[in-house]
Structure 1
């Protein structure tokens, strides 16, 4: 090697060393001490970030005299020194490794006094991470066992079907769009929908009022089918029972006239839906052609040699079903009548539900604001919105003893549209006539 090449190589190494020192040193920094209730599996060398950018690292983790975690961090310039009002939160970027923890700093306002080097931020200024095992520990043993069975059952259910699941996921977005369109159509003509529900309720009421006649008809049909299913000599017995059946059917058909009158409003409301029946039947024709073998084997399905293996045996069990099912009609009518107030209460909230379905696909994303793959990170009321005397808006940390207060929902009586801030035109929140919601129950903040 010549002297010139040696000098050039030395100069290159010197430049690389200078660049490395400038890039890695970060121009110096300050050290601070943070006290957490738990270090949350932090390790030395974990990042310290502000707004998703690395500004320092974890230097050491020690245990205090009162069994708290004291974490010493270093913050590089120009982000140091920090100011009073700074808060710290332990976060995890993913659940794949215990080392994917970092400390996120929320700096105090620049007009606040600066924090001296080696200053201490107590637990009132810090928030520990909630690990998934801590969340599971809040469940009782029965709930944990049920969750374990659910996860294992899901794994068994989808084992070997990954390709089919991938193909099915392509239809999830169209499903949401179709559901959104259906709900929009239902909400656009609530009068017709209400009329259809009322007409259906009247039909069910009329059927329930004539349950005795229907029960007698079913009993007679059961006797007739049982006679037909026996040997040919039993046909005479079936014919003997037929006059009684016809008499019972005559009474039922006479009473059916009033039921048909109640069906007229439903039929009139259904007429607009018949415009596309021609196209429906054209597309339905291939299904009918494929169903021909099913009807060919219907005789075997009706009467197969052996006990308890065909529809004849099923019909013989209908009287027992009638005894159990008759009281259910009355209870169903009562349930519909008692559920009407619930429907009346829920109807004003239909725009809120439709808005949620419309915006659901737009509100989700695969990556969060820090560029990490999105994971569930439950943080229970760690901050509270507040406004300073000078008009600035900040988020103040909530003490650990009060963080779970925000989870309670039994004291909410929000009106329709109150999930978002009130509009200047006063269109929300909406107080429905006779509603018992609280129009003052609105979200905080601007």
Structure 2
């Protein structure tokens, strides 16, 4: 039974709200302001920067201005805590009314309800002029007199200029109208400009450094003007050379492509080779560590080498002369090196025996039919030859057949 009563009450409430919305064309609220200067009937009413209604009527009540607002259905009803502010629409133009709704959880304000309002005191032009100091007012008056002297005699020209500047003035009016209408955006922009100015103030030293650096850069750029001019004069020739070079690139590229295709199999094997090199490189790490003392010693040696070479230079010069003098003797003895080696080897073999006294030599005298070669009257047996000039080293069985070269023997 209780659940049925709750459902019935909810239905009655919904029906009442629907009937109230159907029976009311506009949702109207009023606000009492100290004055309504430059607020006119039909002026838009803004909510969150968008038009939400208009000023329905303005009348006097107890020495104050009672302004009635017609709010669109999409923005009604307002809630408790809503307030009205009168803001500038433009610098020297009408004002517009901005409504800020209360929290959505507050009670709804009925049709015809009253809102709290605030309108700042209007700023007149004479108040602005009165705020200026005497020196500024004097200069402003001088500026006005100069402007009057400039315009005098050119009224028609100024009139023609104003006629032709109509579209520009209209566009400027649209811009100013947008600035006057979009109050939240202007507040946000002013806040950001203020934050930017504060940041610039905090970085005053950095800004001075940047300006000083720019001044130095400008001075250096001015000093390098001639070089820059010469560079620009040489630029066309450079561009022509670059153009010719780039013109040769396609032909070179055509030749390089087959080479790269030929190198592709080798490059495909590089990962495997790199894998095989990894163990070798790991094994080389201890060796590289052991090379440090060697490199340190080599560093010391290289430091002392120039002094050693300087001190050895006189000796090397004399040694060079001595080697040059000994070179013919060395060339003569060189072919007999194997024979001398065989002689010492045979002599060492003969003296290799050792008894309790000391070494002793065992000589082996060989007599053959060749010994009769010294006797020219004896005939040689078969298979024997007479060699009065054997090759050097032939006794050691290493004959040097070209030892005599091509000279006279």
> With structure 2 as the length reference, what TM-score do the two structures score?
0.31
- Structure possessing the higher radius of gyration over alpha carbons: 2
Bigger helix fraction: 2
Larger relative contact order, structure 1 or 2 (CA cutoff 8 Å, min sep 6): 1
